[in-house]
Amino acid sequence: MAMASDYTTVQYHSLQGRSVVITGGASGIGEEMVKAFVSQGARVSFIDIAKEPGGALASATGATFQACDVTDIPALREALARIEGDHGGIDVLVNNAGKDDRHDMAEIEPDYWRQALALNLDHQFFATQAVSKGMAARGSGSIIMLGSISWMRGRPGMVGYTTAKAAINGMTRTLARELGPSNIRVNCIVPGAILTERQRQLWLTPELNQQFLDLQALKFRLDGSHVAKMALFLASDESIGCTGANFIVDAGLTQN
């Protein structure tokens, strides 16, 4: 069973002291990323709308927490500028925040559609824009987008989410070209069926759990630690030759 969350089995020495920002870091995959980067000796800041869980995680890990709604772009810019000033720059940005709400295509109105894109797409661009100037001035940086295999599989009942996640694929490739001359790398982690507390509470049934296992090539459920470990690699200098790429973490689910 490959579901350990020990982030010290490999030490990425290049992450020691590096300034890392994670959006949507208070729970789920983001929470695991906060723990993973802290374990590597990085100076971790995270942004989330959830104040109480964010504060508790900050107290438990020593990471810095900024309460912010990432769909409020002026507030997001202010939060990133504050972190940049306090930490003397930002070396790594992980655009993790998102929300995979289910919705009926026939019932979607323009306001809901825009909100779905704002929650899952817009902030990834504007956060990247906000940190890229400082990264360019220092001549290095790693930006990690978060996609989803849901768009690759054409999953129904979440067209706003899948549209946003598909767009991130194109945005990653374009921004890798835009920012490459400044030695800024832009990559995208594409998670599969990740077992989180949110999934347990809202959707998980024994039948669905078995369906994922049947479809996957690897016969164990993925959790946030598997995604976090990929983020460590992409943030570190060990991935220095990688940019503009999707890194799929789905236990082989997209093979079906």
Residue of 7, 12, 112, 161 marked active site: 161
Instruction: Using DSSP bridges, classify how beta strands 92-95 and 141-146 pair: parallel, antiparallel or unpaired.
Output: parallel
Phi and psi of 27, rounded to 5°?
A: -155, 170
Distances in Å between the Cα of 87 and the Cα atoms of 63, 91, 144, 175, 200 are 12, 10, 19, 24, 36
Per the document, the length of the chain is 256
Is residue 161 among the annotated active site residues?
yes
Q: Where are the alpha helices (DSSP H) in 88-118?
A: 110-117
Eight-state DSSP code of residue 218: S
Cβ(216)–Cβ(252) under 8 Å?
Answer: yes
Write the single-letter amino acid at 139: G
φ/ψ region of 244 (left if φ > 0, alpha if ψ in -120 to 50, else beta) reads left
Residues marked as catalytic? 161
